[in-house]
Each structure stands twice: as structure tokens, then as C-alpha cells.
Amino acid sequence: MTASPTFADVAAARKFVAQYLAPTPLVHCWSLSQQLGCDYYAKCENLQPVGAFKVRGGINLVGQLDAESRERGIISASTGNHGQSLAFAGQLFGVRVVIYGPEQNSNPVKVAAMRALGAEVRLYGRDFDEAREEVERVGRSEGLRYVHSANEPLLIAGVGTMGLEIFDALPAVDAVIVPVGGGSGACGNALVARHINPDVQIIGVQTVGAPACYRAWRERRVGLEAPMETRHEGLATRVAFELTTRMMWDLVDRFELVSDEEIDAALGLLAREAKLVAEGAGAAALAAVLKIKDELEGKKVVGILSGGNVPAERLAALL
């Protein structure tokens, strides 16, 4: 079993990642706070160079590959943001990157962005997990270093740097709401919170149509497979991964499930009221807060706006 990253790993990642990425803003959303009855802050990972938080983990992992892995290149599966993060880091450190994405319902914005960053993108299968299973087969045959989208301590430690920035900007935070696809974001933020202030509530968010991580967390089962029916690809995971699942058992206080329609409403609200562009996964935190706002009344709440890579026509339709 892969060893979990530690707070010390996150602190080390911050020193490394800071050479390449500036901190992202923690924005107090005044209008939304009035509607929600709490002090609502958005951690704006949509402002990262690739428009999503995962670039933190990509840089931390790819930048510390051994010489043999750098020479061979890396391969991974992604619905888009993880792939962009590896492609960005691959360009930064001169490493070949191959990304498999689902052939059906892939986000064209993210596919184009991965290719623009120099990744070789191959589309395969009906969903992320079919693409991932093909990567695990192809990676061995082609001699590439397989980078799992969640079971990678350096990825999680890199993502955890976001949590350090949250506490720098808002030491008195009461709750952090984190969208969960594979779980690296929830694990990274929770790892930091448990070290700095164990009283901070960590709430994971999934969709009712893709609840694998929630069910694995609730039932204490590794590798649980669940239905996967959501149009928001950043949350579209069918199988709960081992490392992040085990970490979430210890680190995440609870989950909230929201519908695709509730996410769409939150996406539009972020654009109209906070002037922030979010993709579906990026709006999931706000969707959860809208659902449990009575429980969060009067508290300082951070919603992780994990990414902003939404197709323009989808955003236009919602607005």
C-alpha cells in the first residue's frame, strides 16, 4: 500500500512549487455572503495557469521525477485538469507526456488545452475509468512512467499547498468545502487543516450521480465502484481510489451530495454575483453550501473553486 503524505511533505512541496506558481487569491464574496448568512470565501484555483488546482500536484511530482522517468516520459488518464497539470509540468521540465481521456463526453476545452501544452492526447473508452484501465495496460507496454490521478503522494502534497495559503489568508476559518473527484484536493486541504487546526470542518462534495468516493468513505470500503452519471467531468469518477479513500476516512468530517442541476445553479450564481468563472466541479462547493447554509450560519467558510475550464457555450446557456 502506498504511504500517505505528511504535513512535512506539504511544507516541502510549498518551497518547491513556489518557484513556479504564485499563491491564488482567497476572495471574500460579499454578495454571496449576504445570501448565505455566512462569510463565504472562494479559493480561486480557476486563476492557475491551467485554470485548475491540480497544476500544484503536477509540478511537485514531475519536477521531482528521477532521471530515468524523465527520460522515458509519463502517461496518465484524465478528464482534463489532471492532464493539463501534467502537460504544463512536462513542458516546464522537458518531459514527454501522454494523456488518455474518455472518448465519450470529453470536455473539448480541456482536450485542446492539453494538446496546446504539448501532451499527446489519446481518447479511449466511455468514461474516465475505462481510459484509466487502458493507460495501465499501455504504460507497461510503452515503458512510460504511469502517474495515477490520485494514488500519488507527491500529487497530494502539492495540492496541499492550497490549504497552507488558505490558513495564511484566513487563520480563523471554520469550514472548508472541497469538491471530490478522485480525492486529492480533499486530502491535501484536510491534511493541512488537521495539522494547523483540527477543529476546522472538512466537507467533501460529490454529485448524486457519481457518489463513489462518498460511498467508499461512508462504507469504509476501498475500490468501491458506483454509478457514474454526471455531466460535470471533474466529478465523474466511477471507482474510489485506495490512497485517497484511506486518507479521507481519517481526515474528512462529512460529505454532501448535490445534483447536477444544483451545481449548474451555483455555477451561474458565481458568475453573476461574484464575477467568478467556474466549471462544474469548481461550483460544487457553493452548491453544497447553498444546501446546508443553515448549519454554516455566521461561520467563516471557504469553498474551493477548483477550476474554471468550462466551455463558453455551457456557461452562456446557464447565464
**Residue 256 pLDDT more than 90?**
yes
* 179 touches 38 (CB < 8 A): no
* 34 touches 42 (CB < 8 A): no
Angle at which helices 280-291 and 260-273 cross, to 10°: 100
CB-neighbour burial class of residue 265 (10 A; exposed 0-12, middle 13-18, buried 19+): middle
Q: Which domain holds residue 73?
A: 55-146
Q: Mark whether 164 and 74 lie in a shared domain.
A: no
- Residue 1: inside a domain: no
pLDDT for 67-92, tens place per residue?
999 999 999 999 889 999 999 999 99
Look up residue 134 and give its three cell numbers.
487502458
Q: Pick from 115, 146, 177: which residue ends a domain? A: 146
Q: Mark whether 216 and 304 lie in a shared domain.
A: yes
**Residue 1 pLDDT more than 80?**
no
Q: Pick from 104, 129, 146: which residue ends a domain? A: 146
- Residue 2: inside a domain: no
Res 164: pLDDT: 98
Report the percent of the chain where pLDDT is more than 90: 82
Res 79: pLDDT: 84
Q: Mark whether 87 and 191 lie in a shared domain.
A: no
Global pTM value? 0.95
pLDDT for 111-151, tens place per residue?
999 999 999 999 998 888 889 889 988 888 899 999 998 99
With bands split at pLDDT 50, 70 and 90, how would you rate the model's confidence at 8? very high
d(CA 205, CA 214): 8
Res 132: pLDDT: 87
With bands split at pLDDT 50, 70 and 90, how would you rate the model's confidence at 4? very high
CATH of the domain at 81: 3.40.50.1100
Q: Mark whether 121 and 257 lie in a shared domain.
A: no
pLDDT for 284-297, tens place per residue?
999 999 999 999 99
Q: Mark whether 60 and 96 lie in a shared domain.
A: yes
**Residue 108 pLDDT more than 80?**
yes
Q: Could you tell me which of 17, 21, 123, 134 has the C-alpha nearest to residue 80?
A: 123
Q: Mark whether 18 and 103 lie in a shared domain.
A: no
**Residue 22 pLDDT more than 80?**
yes
Q: Mark whether 140 and 171 lie in a shared domain.
A: no
Q: Mark whether 221 and 189 lie in a shared domain.
A: yes
Q: Mark whether 135 and 157 lie in a shared domain.
A: no
pLDDT for 162-218, tens place per residue?
999 999 999 999 999 999 999 999 999 999 999 999 999 999 999 999 999 999 999
